Amino acid sequence: MKNHYSKLRTVLSLLVILMTFLTAHLQAQVVHPVASRNEAKFTVAIVPHESYADLKVYRTDSLNSNVLKNTGYWIISESMDKQTVPIFWLSDPITADLKIVLVNYPERAGWINKSKRSLLKPQG
């Protein structure tokens, strides 16, 4: 019986280490609008329709597993930290690096132009 608990404890420890390793490489898609284009990683414009967009964004306020992936779930933060992506909003979508359309349902979020995905790739 003692040996069984020892094996179970070892397996659970390995699972915790594995989960920690997997989640360490994820970066939340938390963006922070900055005042200057020079401070931003890239520029963003909101477009009126999906046909003009690179990314369909579902805005959320809760940090959950979907936000931890580069799948279009965004938290717009009022403060900067090391995991926050600085963006500069533009009113002219023609010159923006990333064109987004806001969606009302989480299942609609996602990349349309997958070549732009690298803009929101984790640093490091």
Average pLDDT taken over every residue of the chain: 80
Q: What pLDDT band is residue 19 in, cutting at 50, 70 and 90?
A: very low
Cα angle 97-99-85, degrees, rounded to a multiple of 5: 60
Per-residue pLDDT at 10 = 58
Over 70: is that where the pLDDT of 120 sits?
Answer: yes
Q: What pLDDT band is residue 63 in, cutting at 50, 70 and 90?
A: confident
Pick the closest to residue 100 from 40, 60, 59, 45 (CA basis). 45
Highest mean pLDDT among 7-11, 23-27, 28-32: 28-32
Q: What is the arithmetic mean of pLDDT over 39-56?
A: 96
What span, in angstroms and rounded, lies between the C-alpha atoms of 35 and 65?
29
Instruction: Report helix, strand or coil for 81.
Output: coil
| DSSP label at residue 123 | P
Burial state string for 3-24 with b = 16 or more CB within 10 A and e = fewer than 16: eeeeeeeeeeeeeeeeeeeeee
